Amino acid sequence: MKYIGEHKSKKELADEYKVTPTTIGDYLKKYGIPIRSASEQRLPAGFVEPSREQLNEWYNQEGKDSDAIAAMLGITRYKVKSLLQEKGVKKRRPSKFDPGKQQLEQWYLSDMISMNEIAERLGTVPQNVRPLLLRYDIQIRSIAETKLKGKERPSDEQLRTWYVAEGKTTTEISGIVGVADITISYWLVDAGVELRDKRGMYDNKSVREKAFAGILEITGKEPKMISTTDFQRKNKDGIGLSGLLGWYRRNYNVKAGTARDILLEDLLEIPIGESVFHNRTPLVRRKQLKEWDKYKAEIEKMFTDHPEIKMIFPSSTWLGENGYTYLEVYSKFHGGMNEVREKLGQSVLRRDSDSLRDFEYIRQELDIAIKNNPELNGNFPTTTWLYDHDFSYLANAAQRYHGGILSVKERMGYGKIKTESQLVDFLQENKEAGAIGDLAGITERTGDIADLLARLWPSRFPSAVQLSRSLPGAIKRIGHSLQPFSMDKARGFYDDVYAIPTEVKYVLDDIIYTIATDQYQLPFNKDPEGTLEELEKFASEKNGVSKLAHRVLDYYKQVYEFAIPGHGGLKEEI
């Protein structure tokens, strides 16, 4: 038979006979033909395992390594390692696998091969490689240096030029070379360069100019419009810029606002006092803004200075960008931004307590806020951010009705899930995740399901591998998987996940198809024609699963009509 004699795989036979690999597998089982494992399929045709004596001769007596034995047998060195373990061939002692200084230098220094890889080649463990390297005075690489495969270390002179003459940071140099910051630090120390205190990096004016240019690029503001809070941003490389303003505060012993004005004069020759924030002095002391009359007077002054806002109390964003952040801050003493608007006689969108008690309403409002504010980068906002951007009602509702902002964050699918109990809560709270997770109870493709969940909710599941381990237990605790499977159950599943991305649905379609073909196997074995009729019924209706039913129907039609020459088929047996 071709499966045994020609060493053809199930897939190759399936392509030849125009059926699926599963159908070929069914017939192999029917005729009692042992099915090869994936590793056995990769072995060359006619491969015969060498005996323990032969392996011992090659490995211990002739000193061949796993690569050499693999080349002789036409298999991988990993298969050789497995055979050595299975046959009980003892590993060589260090004295028996010493390849010599020249070979070790070639592997470790020139080819940048790790100790693990060298141990694999010699058929030993990494712990035995280290003494060999030290015996020949070959310097052991640091952990950072082990990651430098393919990276060339710059000369000491080049490192000094970047770090000292040009004032570049270790982060900037690491971006040029393509290695980690810490590796650059090691190299600088080796080159005899004294590392700067990070605060000293701004002693170089060109560094200050570059950092401030980054702030202007991120905010999109004119220099005179920059506020002190803008220095809390990070540049496009994710590097914080608050140290720039801190440098001016320390060196001139001034507060943040004055430090900003000095910066503008130092870097752009903008005279002190021309910042839009410089003359934004309240009519009264800030503490007095807790009194409504004093607070209202400040608002009226703002209306006079800014006729473009048409006497409408503006948003927190506008207040921050135009030097009136203190009005937003002190609005808390008067009930918040909306309460202030109401006291001023302006229209306010009222949110009744019933809406605020409804978690779905809070979820929708937060989803809109996250979507409409790109600076969040899709992340869940902090309480401070909510207060600063006219969403204080959401922060208050979260605290009053929904167990606090952290609880809302978890229920909405943000924050890492670390325990099985957290996973259970997440799957029960999230309809789409629960429906997908349930599939782990009726298929062996738990890893694929974990990958999908990690792809859809990366902030909750940083590790798909860890998720695949805890998913079966969580599903068992929930106790409502799709089993036993039916087309009606599949229809309910698709109703639950209709909102997920299309590319993910394609993967889910494949998983559901696998489940469906497996689950219909038993009824098909008992009553082939009845099962085909049931599938034809689902395939002909507009029921949300007709496409799936068509695929499963086509599969079982092929099984029903398939026949091997000389042996017949299922259709003839009925």
- Taking phi over 0 as left and psi of -120 to 50 as alpha, with beta for the rest, 403 belongs to left
Distance of CA 369 to the CA centre of its chain: 22
Q: Where are the domains of the chain?
A: 2-41, 52-141, 156-195, 207-268, 286-343, 353-411, 420-564
Residue 89 corresponds to which tokens in the numbers above?
Answer: 């061939």
Q: Which residues contact 299 (CB under 8 A, 6 or more apart)?
A: 313, 327, 340, 344
467 in Cβ contact with 427 (< 8 Å): no
Position 262: which residue type?
Answer: I
Q: Is the dihedral of CA 302, 304, 305, 311 positive or negative?
A: positive
**Rounded CA gap, 244 and 235, in Å?**
12
Residue 475 corresponds to which tokens in the numbers above?
Answer: 């599903």
DSSP-derived secondary structure letter, 564: E
235 in Cβ contact with 211 (< 8 Å): yes
Q: Report helix angle 464-478 to 420-429, nearest 10.
A: 70
pTM: 0.32
Q: Is the dihedral of CA 59, 60, 64, 67 positive or negative?
A: positive
| Among 239, 325, 336, CA closest to 282 | 325
**How, if at all, do strands 563-564 and 568-569 pair?**
antiparallel
Dihedral angle, C-alpha 55, 59, 64, 68, nearest 10 °: 40
DSSP-based three-state secondary structure for 568:
strand
DSSP-based three-state secondary structure for 240:
strand
Find residue 564's DSSP bridge partners.
568
Give pLDDT tens digits along the chain (574 positions).
565 656 676 667 777 777 776 777 777 777 777 776 555 555 555 566 788 888 778 777 776 777 777 777 777 776 777 778 777 877 665 455 678 888 888 888 777 777 778 877 776 766 678 778 877 888 776 544 555 555 567 888 888 888 888 878 777 787 788 776 667 777 787 788 877 665 567 777 888 888 888 888 888 888 888 887 778 766 555 556 777 888 888 777 777 777 888 888 888 888 876 776 655 444 445 568 888 998 999 899 888 888 878 888 887 767 766 777 778 778 888 888 878 888 888 765 556 677 788 888 888 888 888 877 777 777 788 887 887 677 878 888 888 888 888 888 877 767 677 777 777 777 777 777 777 777 777 776 777 777 777 777 776 676 667 777 777 777 776 665 445 567 777 777 777 766 667 766 777 777 778 878 877 888 888 888 888 888 888 878 776 777 888 888 888 787 767 544 444 444 544 4
